[in-house]
Amino acid sequence: MKTAFLILSILASQLYGEVVREDGVRFRDAATDESLAKEYRETPREDPMKKFEAIKGEDPSVVNKVGNLLENSELITFNGQTTLVPKNAIIKIPEKFAGRINKHIEGAKIVGWLDFLSTNRGWITTIEVTLAQAKGEVPVSPDLMETASKSGNLLVAVLQGGPISVIPPKVEESPATPTQTPQVKP
Amino acid sequence: MLMITGAQAQTYTNFIRQVQLPSSGVQFDVSVPAAGQQQSPLEINPTGARFELHTVRTSPLQSFLLDTRYVGSYFTVAEVLITTEDVNSNVPRTRADRPFTVRITTDGLRQGATDPEAAKSVNFYRHTQSYGVGGVGDGLDRTQATLTSQVKINQNGIQTLIYPKKTIAKYRGEERFSIFSLADFQAPASQLASQTVQIWPVADGTISGITTGQTIEFSTPTITLAINDIYPDARVYAQVYQGPKRDDGFVGTVVPGSAVAVNESVPQNRLLTVSNWDSVLTANGAWTMELLTVTPFGIDRLAWVSFNVDRTITFNGSVTTSE
């Protein structure tokens, strides 16, 4: 850090039309397009990255763009609070709770999942899934889903307590694939 | 480790998302308190995962991506550190006419002939993006940034790059320097480190209400100071001193009512009207007024005007006596 700052200071002292006062303060006329262009003509510069091997290819920051959190989330709002869970983490939305999903009320306080769940256990049920089930490699047990659905609560998939998106299993998957048994937590 | 600061925790709510790679659509909410750490229960190998730290503002509802980290099979560590002369800002920032440095550090790159290509090098990218005339970067779509340079780095160690000043005084925008892993059969190219520097325009200003060569005989005229693009952390004031213009940074007398301090996150404009500044003109003769701005880069003279003061009282008439 000190070295970099020293380099900058040396560069700064070599700037056109700049003087360093006795108190160490640098003084100059404010730069203009004309003065900067003149300086560039007299001392052209190279791209500092030219010392490395140039490459070609697509821009990874665009191709692998990190998504917007709100676009990748479902919002659950109730009683002045809103929390966010990953898209596809809500497995079932009973009709009576539809008005609480993706209907954020301006001013509702954003809280983390654990804080929200602790005060809304009465109408939210979590279903513990495995990573394989989340990926859709193994289906969630239909029996368990049916049992959970009977509660009439909102169903949210979690893995060790954290909401996780669940991808539906591929259609061509063999029906003989053994199912793992998730646990239902009211 | 993704860092969360206390200031953010007071007004924003943080969320950490673990995204399994290659993208399968599976996202996991790593629920953590406002500050702290927790081990992710999800596996990382063999395909790797991206951890995203977001913060969500309650009103108006908006999310911001604060940081990302890719964790995968190859243990490559990379860091990007941008240094400018403005050491007072948490966000790296500088001015169009000032240089800055970019220090990149890589560690863990392998050299073996049999090592996979993705373990032997990383790619380094420079993106530039203008904010446009008068823009400050709000709502900027960063996927529209221009990829200015892309190079390969295959050596461990520290590299320091010095970026010179711009050739456009009114440039306003940002430059992003990022290091990405190489794509391989396991995972796509993923960001290992990134930092962005904001570049703000050089201020300009005018002094009106008094002209070069003008003579002030009685009271001082009302003057107007117009300053554009005052740097986010700067002061502006007018000073006067006796004699013609000097270029040695001479310290004169501050004109009363001309000083303004700015402590904002984006450039500002100001229009000041100054009157009754007679008290600083203490003698007849040539004087110079300068409009100055003090920034982390030093003092810049934005405008100046030299004028004369002549307050000698002359009687036109005759004296007679009578007896």
Q: Cβ(A161)–Cβ(B31) under 8 Å?
A: yes
Domain boundaries, chain B: 10-200, 204-309
pLDDT of A12 higher than 90? no
Same-domain pairing of A81 and A115: yes
Fold (topology level) of B204-309: Immunoglobulin-like (2.60.40)
Same-domain pairing of A160 and A107: yes
Same-domain pairing of A81 and A149: yes
Q: What is the mean pLDDT of residues A2-19?
A: 58
Residue length of chain A: 186
Q: What is the mean pLDDT of residues A28-47?
A: 91
Chain A CB within 8 Å of residue B245 CB: no
Sorted by sequence, the CB contacts under 8 Å of residue B293 that are 6+ apart come out as A30, B203, B205, B227, B230, B231, B234, B235, B236, B299, B300, B302
Is residue A12 included in any domain, yes or no?
A: yes
φ, ψ for residue A33, nearest 5 deg: -55, -40
Cβ-defined contact of B27 to A72 (cutoff 8 Å)? yes
CA distance A73 to A58: 28
pLDDT tens column, B271-299? 999 999 999 999 999 999 999 999 999 99
Same-domain pairing of A83 and A143: yes
Q: Of A5, A8, A63, A114, which to mutate for an interface test with B (greatest number of B Cβ within 10 Å)?
A: A8
CA distance B194 to B35: 22
Number of structural domains in chain A? 2
Q: Of A23, A59, A116, which to mutate for an interface test with B (greatest number of B Cβ within 10 Å)?
A: A59
What is the ipTM score, two decimals? 0.79
Is residue A65 included in any domain, yes or no?
A: no
Same-domain pairing of A31 and A82: no
Cβ-defined contact of B178 to A37 (cutoff 8 Å)? no
Strand, coil or helix: A78: strand
CA distance B68 to B7: 19
Is residue A66 included in any domain, yes or no?
A: no
Task: Determine the structural domain holding residue A19 and report its residue range.
Answer: 2-56
pLDDT tens column, B58-111? 777 878 777 777 776 666 788 999 999 999 877 789 999 999 999 999 998 998
Residues of chain A positioned with their CB less than 8 A from the CB of B228: none
Same-domain pairing of A48 and A92: no
| pLDDT for B293 | 98
Banded pLDDT at B205 (limits 50, 70, 90)? very high
Cβ-defined contact of B97 to A160 (cutoff 8 Å)? no
Residues of chain A positioned with their CB less than 8 A from the CB of B183: 60
Chain A CB within 8 Å of residue B67 CB: no
Cβ-defined contact of B202 to A31 (cutoff 8 Å)? yes
Same-domain pairing of A50 and A78: no
Is residue A181 included in any domain, yes or no?
A: yes
Same-domain pairing of A38 and A80: no
Banded pLDDT at B10 (limits 50, 70, 90)? very low
CA distance B51 to B44: 11
Cβ-defined contact of B167 to A31 (cutoff 8 Å)? no
Same-domain pairing of A18 and A78: no
